[in-house]
Structure 1
Amino acid sequence: MTAADPIMSEHRKVTRQIPPPLEDLLAAQKKAFLQDPNPSYQERVDRLKALKKALLSNKDALLSALDEDFGGRSRSESSLTEIIPNLGNIHYTIKQLKKWMQPSKRKLNPQLLPASAKVVYQPLGVVGIVVPFNYPLFLSLSPLLTILAAGNRAMIKMSEFTPKTSELVARIIEQTFPANLVTVVCGDAQVATEFTSLHFDHIIFTGSTAVGHHVMQAAAKNLTPVTLELGGKSPVIVDNDFPIQEAAERVCYAKALNAGQTCVAPDYILVKNDQKAAFIEHYLNAFRKMYPTVNGNNDYTSIINDRHHQRLLQLLADAKAQGATIHTPGNEEINDGSRRIPIHLIENPTDNMGVMQEEIFGPLLPVIGIDSLDEAIQFVQQRPRPLALYYFGSDTNNQEAVLAQTHSGGVCINECLLHVAVEDMPFGGIGPSGMGHYHGHEGFLTFSKAKSVLTKGKLNSTKMIYPPYGGWLQKKMLKFLSGRQ
């Protein structure tokens, strides 16, 4: 079977042998890397094209696997969030790669002349990718394509919560690349622990902040650098000079996407007190328009598994018990056998409620009234730095104030989520929401070693400062160099 042949999980099973131990897989990749430590531009492009071909050939099977793993996931939504972004990133990366690979010339101090200086971008080696459940295709192949563009090899640990998708990705990769270039590992949390303990040349982990601590601890034992893409509570600030209905519709789409199971999903709303009721009303109307029903609606994604479903219901029950006002689009009973949960707006939550203490990662959305933009900024400043921040307001001075006075991994002004889709911008968190960047040129740099190279010829001007010290020429040079400072 070639990379172009679709792998249909139900009708064309590929017999896969029991994989070798993780240490052996890593050793094979490191050995292969030493034999080809700096793949050519054409080699890298060929690998990216092979990945694109495999993705296109298996699109339908992947969409079906995602739907099955979630117990109900929109094929259109999966295409928009998992397939199309990867195809766009591959196209963009191929277009930019030759320029990224070029050494960059650097300037020299006069005392070092005659010489030349440059920075070359060298592959790191073997990179480990740890993939979460919420976007298993995008969050495995998006880092992979950048890792391959930078000339590296990769081992991918897929999530055990998406078994159909994980197994299918493993088979697609197996049919597309040799195991000593890219390989996929499936398994539970114990396998993930073993995986992150391997002596990779770099690890990129996407997941919760709590697990991020463990990944960083494991990597530190090997002095392995890490890129952590975590999450946190991404705020939305709605100012009173932006149309409230439009703001509510944009936030609603962003929160309902993947049923809120998105690391950059809006996690709470800060809206002026005199507009709070209007925001809630417009939000619920927007949800009803997008999803006239939730029961049996194939456009609306289900919660990934029973554990997360129960966790969300418990957060909701806790908020109700502590006096929050809950708003829903209707009284529809979900009896289709799925784990779908309609949107729940939680008005006036307190800091004692679970929904304000942890990342929600589901279709629950606290709505908090504020009296001023300064109050909203202070509210954000007093909490851990989020992965994303969203500000709705037309005044450019207020926009600049929000940008200058808050810290977050990324920002959208008058929009949510879509900064992640910009291929030419870095993506990454700050503090508890992560560290490091990938996507685009910054991703290429993350997975490359920027190596400084100084080149000199036979003429050695440095001799003029060799010992013994105190000669007249040395004194003149030192005086000249000191005067330049």
Structure 2
Amino acid sequence: MPHSIINNQAQLQAQFEYLRQLSRSQPILSWDKREALLQNLEDMLKEYKQKFAQALSEDFCHRSIDETNFAEVFPSFQGIAHAKKHGKSWMKTRRVSISAIYLPAHNEIQPQPLGVVGIMVPWNYPLYLAIGPMIDAFTAGNRVMVKMSESAPKFAQLFAEAVAEYFSEQVAAVVLGEVEIAQAFSSLPFDHLLYTGSTSVGKKVMAAAAENLTPVTLELGGKSPVVVLDDSDLESVVSRIMMGKTINAGQTCIAPDYVLLNKKYHQQFITLAKQWVQKHYPNISHNEDYTHIINDEQFKRVQGYVDAQDASIVYPLTDVDPNPENRLFPPVILTQPDLDSEVMTDEIFAPILPLIHCDTVQSAVTFINERPRPLALYIFGDDDEDIAHVREHTVSGGVAVNEVILHVAQHELPFGGVGHSGIGAYHGQAGFERLSHMKPVFVQSRFNAMSFLLPPYGELFKKGLGLLIK
């Protein structure tokens, strides 16, 4: 029997087979049907947005309701609106150019639904990172199965109930459960599997998908560097970086991970960062705007990064100590930590910000290129030549100049990683095409010259071919 909310492997297999059969016999083709699914998403979000935010706050032991509305609810609404505005044109068969020698034939690209899309959602932004892929999947005419993270259980349960209320089991299902359910989910022969999370788990997901030749989109994160050029307005730079490092307490895949800047600016950076935190998160131990760490395991990991450092390089930005009871972890700066330490090899995913001595543009480029390619790269400065040099001589999933994080909210831009930071990109038209089969079609004219290219190959054929390949 089909199920909208799935809690065990038997239900998982049954629901997948049900959706797969429907996707073959009743593909979602018309724009009216796709638009209706997007409208259901919008209506669901309108009804449940405050309940979603409250559930997330409970999962995090405190997360600002306003932060959830800003970082998850708002971009979800924006993504739905963008898809509703453009999706009908994206799905049209489009003509593309053809070589003159094949005229009067013509070429077309016909977007078609893939079928059933699996979506594996992380715990850090589980609302936006569930709804965002669902937008692209529905716009492309697919059915979906969504595996929620077990690390945000209250939100996961509420989201499953909301989807069951607004969507038929013929279109969508939400999967709950621990690691063994996630492993079974990634082993299903989806028509496409989209995973957001850590690189280590991403490798396992890709290996499981490979058994079925399931195509994957992997959004993996990694260490996103910030290059601060010497001509930067440091006060403005610190403000943007600290915003990116403290939103969701740094638990963001595209958070600034570490900063490359001239040694002579380190102390000024620290002073400005302390002032910024005091201004924006006063009385941080009881501040309603500051998010806590998701669970005890993550808190111990984060605390371990700081404990492993010599005290001389640790600069707390508040006078409040980390609190394991409620998992509050105030922001901290590390100056020139050991490059082989875990804080400089792991994705930090916390409000810890290393400052690394880097005195020239080229040394910054070299530092970045010696490491796995990042999901995001941030460049601050006013010199167009220096900015262009960094952009042209590094490879990253995305780049933001004189800003952090906001590139993810641009629905006209594809979002994705490269190398260790991910495979494939989605959002907007890029997401529609990622979750569609962009079928090439060659349409021959009734009257054409192909009969002259058939054997036996005579002199006319040889002369004509000779003109083409000489």
TM range (shorter): over 0.9
Whole-Å separation in 1 of the counterparts to 2:343 and 2:379: 21
Whole-Å separation in 2 of the counterparts to 1:253 and 1:266: 9
**Deviation at residue 324 of structure 1 after TM alignment:** 5.2
Task: Tell me the amino acid that sits aligned with residue 397 of structure 1.
Answer: E
Uncovered stretches (5+) of structure 2, i.e. residues with no partner: none
Q: Secondary structure at the match of 1:161?
A: coil
**Deviation at residue 298 of structure 1 after TM alignment:** 1.5
Counterpart contact for 2:296–2:324, Cα < 8 Å: no
**Deviation at residue 385 of structure 1 after TM alignment:** 0.5
Which residue matches 1:133?
123
Return the match for 1:107 from 73, 97, 110. 97
**Deviation at residue 116 of structure 1 after TM alignment:** 2.0
What do residues 31-74 of structure 1 show as CA deviations (whole Å, max 9, x unaligned)? 11122224201111111011100110111111110111111000
What do residues 359-415 of structure 1 show as CA deviations (whole Å, max 9, x unaligned)? 110011111122211111111111111100111110000110010011110111111
**Deviation at residue 355 of structure 1 after TM alignment:** 0.5
Q: Taking structure 1 as reference, are residues 141 and 38 closer, same or farther at Cα in structure 2, changes over 3 Å only?
A: same
**Deviation at residue 209 of structure 1 after TM alignment:** 0.5
Which residue matches 1:350?
338
Whole-Å separation in 1 of the counterparts to 2:324 and 2:341: 30
**Deviation at residue 18 of structure 1 after TM alignment:** 5.9
Give the fraction of aligned pairs with identical amino acids, expressed as a percent. Answer: 40
Which residue matches 1:149?
139
Which residue matches 1:327?
315
Return the match for 1:446 from 434, 438, 441. 434
Return the match for 2:251 from 219, 242, 261. 261
Task: Tell me the amino acid that sits aligned with residue 209 of structure 1.
Answer: T
Task: Tell me the amino acid that sits aligned with residue 51 of structure 2.
Answer: A
Whole-Å separation in 2 of the counterparts to 1:200 and 1:177: 20
Which residue matches 1:69?
59
- How many equivalent pairs are there? 466
Q: Secondary structure at the match of 2:261?
A: strand
Q: Does 1:196 align with 2:186?
A: yes
Return the match for 1:475 from 452, 462, 469. 462
Which residue matches 1:166?
156
Whole-Å separation in 2 of the counterparts to 1:58 and 1:158: 17
Q: Does 1:118 align with 2:108?
A: yes
Counterpart contact for 2:334–2:355, Cα < 8 Å: yes
Return the match for 2:447 from 459, 469, 472. 459
Whole-Å separation in 2 of the counterparts to 1:104 and 1:146: 19
**Deviation at residue 82 of structure 1 after TM alignment:** 0.9
Whole-Å separation in 2 of the counterparts to 1:372 and 1:330: 31
Counterpart contact for 2:299–2:324, Cα < 8 Å: no
Return the match for 2:352 from 335, 340, 364. 364
Whole-Å separation in 1 of the counterparts to 2:207 and 2:143: 23
**1:227-306 paired onto structure 2 within 5 Å:** 227-306=217-296
Uncovered stretches (5+) of structure 1, i.e. residues with no partner: 1-14
Whole-Å separation in 1 of the counterparts to 2:273 and 2:236: 9
Counterpart contact for 1:319–1:354, Cα < 8 Å: no
Q: Does 1:309 align with 2:296?
A: no
Task: Tell me the amino acid that sits aligned with residue 290 of structure 1.
Answer: H
What do residues 190-236 of structure 1 show as CA deviations (whole Å, max 9, x unaligned)? 11010000000000000000011101100100000000000111101
Which residue matches 2:386?
398
Task: Tell me the amino acid that sits aligned with residue 26 of structure 1.
Answer: F
Counterpart contact for 1:44–1:151, Cα < 8 Å: yes
TM-score by length of 1: 0.93
Q: Taking structure 1 as reference, are residues 341 and 462 closer, same or farther at Cα in structure 2, changes over 3 Å only?
A: same
Whole-Å separation in 1 of the counterparts to 2:130 and 2:234: 37
Q: Taking structure 1 as reference, are residues 294 and 381 closer, same or farther at Cα in structure 2, changes over 3 Å only?
A: same
Q: Taking structure 1 as reference, are residues 162 and 111 closer, same or farther at Cα in structure 2, changes over 3 Å only?
A: same
Task: Tell me the amino acid that sits aligned with residue 52 of structure 1.
Answer: E
**Deviation at residue 99 of structure 1 after TM alignment:** 1.6
**1:93-104 paired onto structure 2 within 5 Å:** 93-104=83-94
What do residues 259-288 of structure 1 show as CA deviations (whole Å, max 9, x unaligned)? 000000011111111111111111111111
Return the match for 2:77 from 87, 91, 99. 87
Counterpart contact for 2:318–2:331, Cα < 8 Å: no
Bigger shift: 22-31 or 219-228? 22-31
